[in-house]
Chain A
Amino acid sequence: MTDTSLPTETGDDQARPALPSGWAGVVSDYSSDQRTFKNVNWGKAMMWVFLLSDTFIFGTFLLAYMNARMSTKVAWPNSSEVFALHIGGVELPLLLIAIMTFVLISSSGTMVLAVNYGYRRDRKMTALFMLITAVLGASFVGMQVFEWSKLIEEGVRPWGNPMGAPQFGAIFFMITGFHGTHVTIGVIFLLIYTRKTWRGDFDTERRGYFTSQKSKYESIEIMGLYWHFVDLVWVFIFAFFYLW
């Protein structure tokens, strides 16, 4: 009882009794002292809370899109034709979007591998797979730039377009632009984390520049949560904006 030091970083008390599972676990977690999310470090819990708030941002964007599309008297542009690519005289509907989808899913897979190798303390493989994830993410953004410039060339503007309902441009640029921003931020952080991993920060527990916290491989899992969320948002955008 003389030990008055603060709880450890993750708040784990020594000699904690086993936690109940199922509904009893939910009740005991929420009715307990100090913290609700027992075996999750604060960084991960905060990332989840952030992702939840981001869910609402993208949710309201998609709702705005639904409102615009439902309430217009003018026909909505046919996304299958708008986003078609002409290759060798053949028109392939939504081809670029399909490729972008596959690239993003691939990057999610490589991110999962990076997290896994991180917990195995395999520094080089972790860095390698994070770098591959960053490259895939960057190529996704590159394809989006191509898509944007193609549409701008065809006369799509936030206030109108030659294909149909004038709201199409505003909705398209807002939703895909906001998602592309998320991907770009993700790529930047992936590159920073690749460097940190390669340098061995997570092995030597080097203290971070901003927070002075020790670097831990958990950070890569948290980074992964963000990256998978970006992929998750794309699943919804793909379904509602491109396919609907």
Chain B
Amino acid sequence: MTELSQGALAAEPGQTTDDHQQHPLKVYFIVWGWLFVLSACSYFVDYVGFQGLLRWTLILLFMMAKASLIVAFFMHLKWERQSLSWAMLLPPVAVLAFVGIIIFEASYTLMTREVYFDISNVPGF
């Protein structure tokens, strides 16, 4: 407990004045272990040589699992108040809209290059 909550006059037992993120070490070791396992898994996706949709699905799956574990447990977001969690997790979702725009743009660029570029005449390509 912080000296603040100790000094609080009417501090009730369940009151969230505690700024400290202290949790049993066991939780961290389990998460740590899983991060190693998931990293090994994503490495083996490349080692085994999966291709196509299966490869992309597995890469994204292991990536999101690792990222979630780090954010939830190591960065303590699981134990923070939801007002903080949502403020930090929702804005990055907007990047997905940006991804959509760039996919549209990149496809258009590729199309113009395929139609108008004779690669053999362009130095550096």
Which residues of A does B touch, CB under 8 Å? 8, 10, 12, 14-16, 18-19, 21-23, 25-26, 29-30, 36-41, 44-45, 48, 51-52, 55-56, 59-60, 63, 66-67, 70-74, 80, 93-94, 98, 101-102, 105, 108-109, 111-113, 115-116, 119-120, 159-160, 166, 218, 221, 224-225, 228-229, 231-232, 235-236, 238-239, 242-244
Sample of 4 further A-B pairs with CB below 8 A, known A37-B87, A70-B107, A119-B22 = A48-B84, A63-B98, A66-B103, A238-B63
Q: Take A12-B17, A116-B28, A160-B124 as given contacts and tell me if A29 and B83 are in contact as well, using a CB distance cutoff of 8 Å.
A: yes
Please report the C-alpha to C-alpha distance between residue A243 and residue B98 in the assembled complex, in whole angstroms.
Answer: 22
Which residues of B does A touch, CB under 8 Å? 2, 4-5, 7-12, 14-23, 25, 28-29, 32, 35-36, 39, 42-43, 45-47, 49, 55-56, 59-60, 62-63, 66-67, 70-71, 74-76, 80-84, 86-88, 91-92, 95, 98-99, 102-103, 105-107, 109-110, 113-114, 117, 119, 124-125
| A229 touching B75, Cβ below 8 Å | yes
Which chain A positions have C-beta within 8 A of B12? 18
Please report the C-alpha to C-alpha distance between residue A144 and residue B15 in the assembled complex, in whole angstroms.
Answer: 46
Which chain B positions have C-beta within 8 A of A45? 84
Query: From residue B64, how far is it (CB to closest CB) to chain A in Å?
Result: 9
Q: Write the chain A residue with the least CB distance to B98.
A: A63
| A116 touching B25, Cβ below 8 Å | yes
Q: Main SS of the interface on chain B? A: helix
Query: From residue B26, how far is it (CB to closest CB) to chain A in Å?
Result: 11
Give the 8 A-B residue pairs with the shortest CB-CB distance, closest first: A70-B106, A29-B83, A71-B109, A239-B63, A15-B10, A109-B32, A71-B106, A119-B22
| B42 touching A239, Cβ below 8 Å | yes
Q: Take A15-B9, A52-B88 as given contacts and tell me if A66 and B102 are in contact as well, using a CB distance cutoff of 8 Å.
A: yes
Q: Take A18-B14, A38-B81, A73-B117 as given contacts and tell me if A159 and B8 are in contact as well, using a CB distance cutoff of 8 Å.
A: no
Which chain A positions have C-beta within 8 A of B55? 243
Which chain B positions have C-beta within 8 A of A105? 32, 35-36, 39
Which chain B positions have C-beta within 8 A of A93? 46-47
| A80 touching B95, Cβ below 8 Å | no
